[in-house]
Amino acid sequence: MTEMMRAVEIAEPGGPEVLRLCERPMPEAGHGQVVIKVAYAGVNRPDALQRAGAYNPPPGASDLPGLEAAGEVVELGAGVSGLSIGDQVCALLPGGGYAEYVATPAAHCLPVPAGLSLKEAACLPETCFTVWSNVFTRGGLKAGERFLVHGGSSGIGTTAIQMASALGARVFTTAGSAEKCQACLDLGAERAINYREEDFVAVLREEGGADLILDMVGGDYIPRNIKTLANDGRLVHIAFLSGPKAELNFAQIMARRLTVTGSTLRPQSDEAKARIAQDLSEVIWPLIETGKLKPVMDSTFSLDEAAAAHARMESSGHIGKIVLEVSGA
């Protein structure tokens, strides 16, 4: 008889209330995979999009939400090397993190950084993979460049501010309150712009324009971002909280040699994600272990409070990451 585990499933597309506790068969480790006993799982915007029916899992992935977790390796699949039963890891997941056990490619696992708890480590994978691949690989951010990240108090934002600052960029950010702006400054931002009171376009143009913008807002921010960029600037989209459509003058892109790009993480190949994991291991994990980068924690909910965790995230009142305590540590 297959062993069962507790999990949170999406009963039907809808609001946070459609998340419900259930029992599911425990996953098994396929070739190149490990099974992790989940201590904590991170809560992310893509989880809410999946819950709403707007972000389907890729083929073969679990239908359970949850794209990052930390815990203990309890099973090794064929072909796995470099990991052992009992290792404490955090991992990027194809899905299934809102459960007591989850399977994921071994190459997407990273050790829990020295000095961090499992709860803190559960906040790292989704944001670190996303920021590294979009800001540094796709966006090509270099030391000394002016970097604008919208939503600086979000999980992505707090990670991007710290990474970019630690690697020598000049960091500017937007946030919606004095408290959130101060949190961004405390993390290393040179300037935090309260978008309810100031125009980020004007602020950045006084500085010479942004060399790189990381945007998760979209909508009317898209043409404003184009105005904000310096010549040869880059705009990278990772989400569209205000919608993906805008009217845009593409002559500006040609005349000023601008680059407009973007990506989503989940549909990328296992090999691409493994390359990101390797980069993080070499560049970012040492920064975490020396205290130059640390996850910003907002709140913790139990597994059966997943709906409340989603409501908290969608209220946009949080600063930093929200996590689910699955088995604790």
- Which pLDDT score, from 0 to 100, does residue 46 have? 95
- Are residues 183 and 85 part of one domain? no
- Are residues 229 and 188 part of one domain? yes
CATH number at residue 105: 3.90.180.10
- Are residues 15 and 119 part of one domain? yes
| DSSP β-bridge partners for residue 99 | 7
Does 285 reside within a domain?
A: no
- In contact, 65 and 95? CB cutoff 8 Å: yes
- Are residues 51 and 164 part of one domain? no
- Are residues 305 and 258 part of one domain? no
What is the rounded distance in angstroms from the CA atom of residue 106 to the CA atom of residue 198? 45
Q: Which residue, chain included where needed, has tokens 């930390």?
A: 70
- Are residues 51 and 29 part of one domain? yes
Among candidate residues 262, 286, 315, the one where a domain is terminated? 262
- Which pLDDT score, from 0 to 100, does residue 1 have? 44
- Are residues 110 and 26 part of one domain? yes
- Are residues 79 and 168 part of one domain? no
Does 283 reside within a domain?
A: no
Dihedral sign of CA atoms 48, 52, 54, 57 in order: positive
Does 73 reside within a domain?
A: yes
What does the DSSP assignment read for 51-69? HTTSSPPPTTS-SS--SEE
Does 201 reside within a domain?
A: yes
CATH number at residue 248: 3.40.50.720
| DSSP β-bridge partners for residue 7 | 22, 99
H helical segments located in 97-239: 118-121, 125-131, 155-166, 178-186, 200-206, 221-228
**Of 276, 235, 256, 233, which Cα lies nearest the Cα of 149?**
235
Does 282 reside within a domain?
A: no
Task: Give CA separation, 79 vs 31, 72, 76, in Å.
Answer: 6, 19, 8
Number of domains in the chain: 2
Does 278 reside within a domain?
A: no
Domain span at 190: 128-262
- In contact, 323 and 33? CB cutoff 8 Å: no
| DSSP β-bridge partners for residue 40 | 70, 325
What is the rounded distance in angstroms from the CA atom of residue 90 to the CA atom of residue 128? 11
- Are residues 159 and 118 part of one domain? no
CA 275, distance to chain mean position in Å, is 17
- Are residues 258 and 132 part of one domain? yes
Q: What phi-psi label fits residue 66: left (phi over 0), alpha (psi between -120 and 50 degrees) or beta?
A: left
- Are residues 158 and 36 part of one domain? no
What is the rounded distance in angstroms from the CA atom of residue 95 to the CA atom of residue 47? 9
Considering the entire predicted model, what is its pTM? Answer: 0.95
- Are residues 317 and 239 part of one domain? no
What is the rounded distance in angstroms from the CA atom of residue 138 to the CA atom of residue 215? 13
**pLDDT tens, the chain, 329 aa long:** 469 999 999 999 999 999 999 999 999 999 999 999 999 999 999 999 999 999 999 898 999 999 999 999 999 999 999 999 999 999 999 999 999 999 999 999 999 999 999 999 999 999 999 999 999 999 999 999 999 999 999 999 999 999 999 999 999 999 999 999 999 999 999 999 999 999 999 999 999 999 999 999 999 999 999 999 999 999 999 999 999 999 999 999 999 999 999 999 999 999 999 999 999 999 999 999 999 999 999 999 999 999 999 999 999 899 999 999 998 65
Does 316 reside within a domain?
A: yes
**Of 62, 66, 73, which Cα lies nearest the Cα of 42?**
66
- CB under 8 Å to 32, separation ≥6 — which residues? 77, 78, 79, 80, 105, 106, 107, 270
- In contact, 191 and 159? CB cutoff 8 Å: no
Does 19 reside within a domain?
A: yes
Among candidate residues 219, 245, 262, the one where a domain is terminated? 262
